[in-house]
Amino acid sequence: MDLTKTTTAFELKGFEISRNLGVVRGILVRSRSIFGTIGASFQTLLGGNITILSELCEKTRQEAFEIMVQHAEHLGANAIIGIRYESTEIFQGVTEVLCYGTAVYVETKK
């Protein structure tokens, strides 16, 4: 199945929800490597965007999103609505990223 309909909204324009399959989530726990920490430390001296950490955050969010999509596909969903992200620092240098939403089955409005 190719689940391509995802949104932060609670509806999809042109579609109606025929089945609500429940909450789906993707959880990823990630730590910074020693090299990433050193590189980020040097970037903070220069100021501006800390690209090493920005790229790590984006990659982590994308992986959590993909895990959530797999969970939804496993339930038979063809869309996910109400998508949100949360993150929690478990301990210094280790962060949990959670991506969650509601798995639904949608059909084209008649």
Residues of the chain with confidence (pLDDT) below 50:
35, 39-40, 42
For the chain, the structural domain boundaries read 5-31+62-108
Determine the Cα–Cα distance for residues 32 and 56; give it in Å rounded to an integer: 8
Take residue 42 and report the two structure tokens written for it: 């040097």
- pLDDT at position 35 is 46
pLDDT in tens, 28-52: 998 765 545 554 454 555 555 667 6
Take residue 45 and report the two structure tokens written for it: 């001296």
Number of separate helices (H) and strands (E) present in the chain: 2, 4
- pLDDT at position 3 is 79
Take residue 23 and report the two structure tokens written for it: 């909450």
- CATH for 5-31+62-108 is 3.30.110.70
Q: Note if the pTM is more than 0.85.
A: no
With contact defined as beta carbons under 8 Å apart, do 9 and 54 qualify? no
